């Protein structure tokens, strides 16, 4: 009897610990979600922005530098934006969850922040990473356009990250490819923010939190003021 009670107590304790950890992961918003944690993040986004009442809006769709931006709506006012970012996402995830986070909302404008998680995961030489990464993006944007023919896509350049300094040249090449793709596509606009975090040969480390991968508050406000708000002004004319 005592053994059974001990087992029950251990079981309840593990359940409570599981719930607490899950809550903190969602609160932090910037961890690389996987498995059930990623599904929980998706549920949280859908609860905050029910598709039934958030049609034809402005969606921000991407990885953790969107997901961690908790004051995005305030920072981008007066524009009414929806933050659908989730940590750890790569293009494969954005495509997989589009049926829940993108297509049901029929957005008029979508801001994308993608790439940095993709080239970290793709194996091979830099050239192989670039080729595969761009193949994935062309397929993704083409499929999204097929499903959302009236939407305009705003593609944010991949941030140059001091915490991933070894990928500096690779990120710059992917950005150049993205810029060229957008210039040839009438429903896409490219926003070049490379000089925000890297200029005159040095990273601006003061714009990042301790991990040097995610923007801090100063970095978020700069991103909004100098790059995103001007893009919104143009797309929402």
Q: With 80 as the cut, is the pLDDT of residue 208 above it?
A: yes
209 three-class SS: coil
What domains sit in the chain, N to C, each tagged with a CATH number?
31-235 (3.40.50.1110)
pLDDT tens for each residue of 70-89 = 999 999 999 999 999 999 89
Distance CA 102, CA 153 (A): 12
Per residue in 102-140, pLDDT (tens digit) is: 999 999 999 999 877 888 888 899 999 999 999 999 999
- Contact, 136 vs 91, CB < 8 A? yes
pLDDT score for 120: 83
Give the mean model confidence (pLDDT) for residues 181-210.
Answer: 97
CA distances from 78 to 11, 58, 73, 110, 212 (A): 49, 12, 9, 17, 30
Position 22 confidence tier, pLDDT thresholds 50, 70, 90: very low
Q: How far apart are the C-alpha atoms of 237 and 232, rounded to whole Å?
A: 8
Question: What is the band of 34 on the pLDDT scale with cuts at 50, 70, 90?
Answer: very low
The model's pTM is: 0.84
């Amino acid at each position: 009897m005592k053994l059974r009670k001990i087992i029950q107590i251990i079981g309840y304790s593990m359940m409570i610990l599981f719930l607490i950890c899950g809550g903190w992961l969602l609160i932090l918003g910037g961890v690389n979600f996987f498995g059930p944690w990623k599904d929980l993040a998706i549920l949280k986004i859908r609860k905050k922005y029910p598709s039934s009442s958030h049609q034809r809006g402005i969606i921000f769709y991407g990885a953790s530098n969107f997901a961690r931006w908790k004051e995005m709506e305030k920072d981008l006012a007066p524009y009414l934006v929806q933050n659908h970012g989730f940590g750890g996402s790569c293009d494969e995830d954005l495509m997989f969850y589009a049926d829940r986070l993108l297509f049901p909302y029929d957005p008029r404008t979508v801001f994308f922040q993608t790439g940095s998680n993709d080239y970290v995961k793709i194996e091979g030489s830099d050239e192989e990473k670039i080729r595969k990464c761009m193949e994935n993006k062309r397929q993704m944007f083409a499929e999204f356009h097929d499903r959302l023919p009236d939407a305009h896509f705003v593609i944010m350049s991949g941030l140059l990250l001091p915490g991933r300094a070894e990928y500096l040249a690779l990120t710059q090449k992917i950005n150049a490819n993205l810029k060229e793709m957008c210039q040839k596509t009438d429903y896409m606009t490219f926003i070049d923010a490379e000089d925000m975090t890297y200029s005159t040969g040095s990273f601006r480390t003061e714009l990042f939190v301790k991990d040097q991968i995610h923007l801090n508050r100063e970095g978020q406000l700069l991103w909004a003021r100098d790059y995103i708000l001007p893009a919104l002004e143009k797309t929402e004319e």
